[in-house]
Amino acid sequence: MSGLEQWNWSLDGWIIAAGILCAVSSALLGNFLVLRKMSMLGDAITHAILPGLAAAFFLSDSRSSIPMFAGAVLAGILTALFTEWIRSFGKVDEGASMGVVFTSLFALGLVMIVQAADHVDLDPGCVLYGAIELTPLDTILISGWEIPRVVVVLSVVLLVNLLFVVLFLKELKLSSFDPALATTTGFNATLIHYTLMTLVAVTAVASFETVGNILVVAMFVVPPAAAYMLTDRLVRMIVLSVILAIIAAVLGHISAMTVPRWFGFQSTSTAGMMAVAAGLLFIIAALFAPRHGIIVVFVRRQILAWKILAEDIIALMYRIEERDPQLKPDAAYLREILFSSPLPTDWSLHFLARHGQVIDSNGTYELTETGRDRARQLVRSHRLWEHYLVEHAGMSAENIHKQAEQLEHFTDRQLREKLNKDTLDTDQDPHGRPIPPEDERG
């Protein structure tokens, strides 16, 4: 019951080809939408295409693809223009102006379409259907080969997008990251912006008949967003987004055929499953990305927190020794002063004991030689920082503790020496406590 036994290369091959072409051409442009924080503009444009289609239909009085294509693209560009216009002249927040523009255009299109209701004769080959499954049925003859029309159209769009991205990579990069600089260095960021918008509209219209409008948004936003989680380099991000888009398309079609069968149904919408597959890829990337992934970031933070807690513990023990050498603190005592929870404290103490920095003698703890060395350096960092903050940052003695507390964990020997040099030569911190020497004997 896998569903794949119905696989038929002449049908499914073309469907997957169309899916891949659509996903890749969208993802190429989507990188810049995501980087420019304009992901929702893709959504707005795909919604607002409707009146363009309707108007083209009314004007040309035909359902041939070319006027409709032109009308839709024009409407898409107008969306970008209107949004910008309302934002700048009306001083309305960008999201709101987008919301106003695309819902209005969509409603207008709906009214126009309903007016045409009884005579709109749009066959499945027309630009409106988001039915990727129909791809193989509507073919045109190119030098003896029967190739689905959609595949031809999308190939052209992909080629144009690819050329645009490759030729204007530098300009796109600059105008995405720093439009002001882009303008001052002499090329027109606005021109790049509207070219990008035009291509977004073209891609949306072309993909519209394949995957439907919301799912174009999925292809615009999701693969690039996943790629953005994986890398910091633009070129790598673009390549990754293309690869992810291809995987999403293939996976989407296969799962559309197979997954419903697990529950006793027949296959479902490929376009929908493409979006779902892209979503899954995004979740995987967001969780497991090596540098920016949620898990890695979480673990990194946790480890840092534990490291800081361990350092706090030995620094505290050093201070206790300083005041009262007879006092042997136990875990509860340390916890109380550090406001930490039981489990991390125990872990940290255990960790410190294993690394020979403290000695656990029946529940009370004592610093070892190495532990004391490290603790002294920490306390020295802390007090040097306090000193420095009062002297150079003009902070009052009451406020410096917290700041120094944060800085001490990131201060190495070199920085301590520099701090020592930059502050007045004194062996007392602003609270009157002695600044311990770098080495026991020194």
Partner 1 sequence: MRPFFLVFLLASFVPQSLVIAENNAREIQSQQSITNRSITMPTWSDWKRVLFLQDYNTRIVILGTTLLGMSAGMVGSFALLRKRALMGDALSHATLPGIAIAFIVATTLGLDGKSLPVLLVGAALSGLMGIATILLIRNLTRLKEDAALGIVLSVFFGAGIALLGIVQQMETGHAAGLESFIYGKTASMVASDAWLIGSAGMTCMLISILLFKELTLLCFDEGFADSRGFPVVFLDMMLMGLVVVVTIIGLQAVGLILMISLLVIPPAAARFWTEKMVNMTIVAIVLGALSSMIGSAMSAIFPNLPSGAMIVLVSTAMFLFSMVFGIPRGILIRKLRRHELNTKINRQHLLRGIYEYLEARGLLNEKQKLESMQVPIDAVFQMRSWSRPKLKKIIKRAQLEQLVELVHENQMQLTEAGLKEAIRLVHEHRLWELYLITYADVAPSKVDQDADAIEHVLEPEVISELESLLIQQTSEGVLQSPHTIDIDRNKTNSQNPHARRLR
Q: In this structure, what DSSP letter does residue 4 have?
A: G
Q: What's the min distance (Å) between Cβ of 194 and partner 1?
A: 19
Q: Are 189 and 175 in contact (CB under 8 A)?
A: yes
Q: Are strands 358-361 and 145-148 parallel, antiparallel or unpaired?
A: unpaired
Whichever of 160 and 214 has its CB closer to partner 1, that residue is 214
Q: What's the min distance (Å) between Cβ of 104 and partner 1?
A: 4
Whichever of 100 and 395 has its CB closer to partner 1, that residue is 100
Q: Are 27 and 219 in contact (CB under 8 A)?
A: yes
**Helix boundaries (H) for 212-293:** 213-230, 234-262, 270-288
Q: Which two tokens stand for residue 168?
A: 């204007």
Q: What's the min distance (Å) between Cβ of 263 and partner 1?
A: 8
d(CA 155, CA 132): 15
CA distances from 318 to 121, 314, 379 (A): 85, 6, 8
Q: What's the min distance (Å) between Cβ of 63 and partner 1?
A: 11
Whichever of 34 and 334 has its CB closer to partner 1, that residue is 34
Q: Which of 170, 165, 136, 171 is nearest to 150 (CA)?
A: 136
Whichever of 151 and 275 has its CB closer to partner 1, that residue is 275
Whichever of 268 and 426 has its CB closer to partner 1, that residue is 268
* Residue 95, helix vs strand vs coil: helix
Q: Give the CA dihedral 16, 21, 26, 29, nearest 10 degrees.
A: 150
Whichever of 202 and 317 has its CB closer to partner 1, that residue is 202
Burial 24-54 (b: 16+ CB within 10 A, else e): bbbbbbbbbbbbbebbbbbbbbbbbbbbbbb
Q: What's the min distance (Å) between Cβ of 339 and partner 1?
A: 20
When computed from its CA atoms, the radius of gyration of the chain, rounded to whole angstroms, is 32
Q: What's the min distance (Å) between Cβ of 158 and partner 1?
A: 20
d(CA 240, CA 258): 26
Q: Are 251 and 272 in contact (CB under 8 A)?
A: no
Whichever of 21 and 390 has its CB closer to partner 1, that residue is 21
Residue 325: φ, ψ to 5°: -60, -20
Q: What's the min distance (Å) between Cβ of 320 and partner 1?
A: 35
Whichever of 220 and 388 has its CB closer to partner 1, that residue is 220
Whichever of 250 and 415 has its CB closer to partner 1, that residue is 250
d(CA 389, CA 269): 64
Looking up tokens 């996903």 gives 23
DSSP secondary structure string, 330-363?
Answer: BHHHHHHHHT--HHHHHHHHHHHHHTTSEEEETT
Q: What's the min distance (Å) between Cβ of 252 and partner 1?
A: 9
Q: What's the min distance (Å) between Cβ of 390 and partner 1?
A: 27
Whichever of 215 and 419 has its CB closer to partner 1, that residue is 215
Residue 158 burial (CB count, 10 A): 20
Q: What's the min distance (Å) between Cβ of 360 and partner 1?
A: 37
